[in-house]
Amino acid sequence: MAGLTALPAYVRSANDQEMLEMALIENIQREDLNPMEVALNYQRLISECNLTHNDLAIRLGKGRTTITNFLRLLKLPADIQAGMKSQQISMGHARALIEIDEPDAQLNIYKQTTENEWSVRQVENAVKQWRERQNKKPLPDTEQKLSIHLRKVQDNLESHFGTRVTIKQTADGKGQIAIGFGSDDELNRILDLMQ
pLDDT tens sequence across 140-169: 544 557 788 888 888 888 877 777 888 888
* 173 lies in some domain: yes
Q: Are 70 and 46 in contact (CB under 8 A)?
A: no
Residue 24 domain flag: no
How many residues in the chain?
195
Query: Residues 14-17: contacts with CB within 8 Å, 24+ apart?
Result: 17/49
CB atoms within 10 A of CB 57: 18
Does the structure show a pLDDT above 70 at 139? no
Q: Alpha-carbon distance 101 to 120, whole Å?
A: 18
pLDDT at 115: 94
Domain count, the chain: 1
Task: Name the percent of the chain lying above pLDDT 90.
Answer: 29
- pLDDT reading at 24 higher than 80: no
Residue 15, in any domain of the structure: no
Q: Is residue 28 part of a domain?
A: no
pLDDT score of 179 more than 80: yes
**Cα–Cα dist 128/135, whole Å:** 11
- Distances from the Cα of 170 to the Cαs of 38, 143, 146, 176, in angstroms? 51, 5, 10, 9
CB atoms within 10 A of CB 189: 15
Asked whether residue 177 is assigned to any structural domain, the reply reads: yes
Whole-prediction pTM: 0.57
Domain of residue 157 covers: 136-195
Domain membership of residue 171 (yes or no) is: yes
DSSP 182: S
| Burial group, residue 10, by CB count within 10 angstroms (0-12, 13-18, 19+) | exposed
Is residue 14 over pLDDT 70? no
